[in-house]
Structure 1
Amino acid sequence: MRALRLLTPGLCLLATVLGFTGCAGYQLGTGTAPKFTTLFVAPVTSEALVPQARVELTTRLREAFLRDGRVQLAASAESADAVLQVTIARYGRTLAVSQPTDTGLARRFDLNLQARASLLKRGSEEPYFADRVLEATRGVFTDDGLVPAESQIIPVLADSLANEAVHAVLDTW
């Protein structure tokens, strides 16, 4: 019993020391530095009919990269180390919930915005990646009408896609 009493403080000290040394190499962030320092976000193009989504997504992309801060945004493709090109590929809505009194009348839709992103190296034919799919889905209630609900959710979908683009571009591929 006495040996156990003498051994317990030593074991606690050893566990504490080992616990702290295990965390000594930890650092915040992704642990990888981008392969470029400047990025040009090209104006978004669209293959889908989504009013104002191109401008909204372009703005949200630039804001997301500025917020992240790991790369600087360039004013032109010629002055950047890399160029991000994004194309809105598809926009769709799926009936999620119907009215309880009329199953033909929608109460909620799930809206889906899908885009393709390519990250190009400056002065090279080979891209970092090409046609990577980015996708955002959100639900909207149509109590005040579908058109107002859709126009209010487009910035939210664009923000979600922009955050996904930041991870695709700057985090480990």
Structure 2
Amino acid sequence: EFSLEDCNKLTYTEMVCKETMRLFPVGPIIGRRATADVRLDENHIIPQNAQCIISFYQLHRDPDVWGPNADRFDPENFLPEKADQRHPYSFLPFSAGSRNCLGYRYAWLPMKIMLAYLARSYRLKTSLTMDQLTLQNYGIIILRIAQGCQVTVEQREGSKLGR
């Protein structure tokens, strides 16, 4: 059993979950309307009421934000000292602001608990490398791995789950 206090101690597990959501956002894009003129730089302005598409997929892989290895899976991207150096809106797995996903707080807790239980009881392996993964849209806004779930599961010695 995991208590809320136990979940708060799963720091590296949370970093793994965040890095997974960074590279593989479930919803890779979102639409928004500009509520005021937004100056991007001296030559570009998004006018008030313009409809905008924000690509979380692109934002989360921007080398200007995430460094030269932005496409590499690295949970240490979420070490506190690294996260503190980034803009708060550089990581938006559930959007942000007044129109963010209502279930985002609920989503993190079961994600961390499930990953902790699985990692404690099983070894999860895949032969696919990051370079081999192909992502595709499912429907309009859901992102998934085109090759499907290619994972081998081995029970750890002494594990009581699955028996």
TM range (shorter): under 0.3
TM-score scaled by structure 2?
0.21
Q: Which protein, 1 or 2, shows the higher relative CO under an 8 Å CA cutoff with sep ≥ 6?
A: 2
Please identify the structure whose Cα radius of gyration is greater: 1
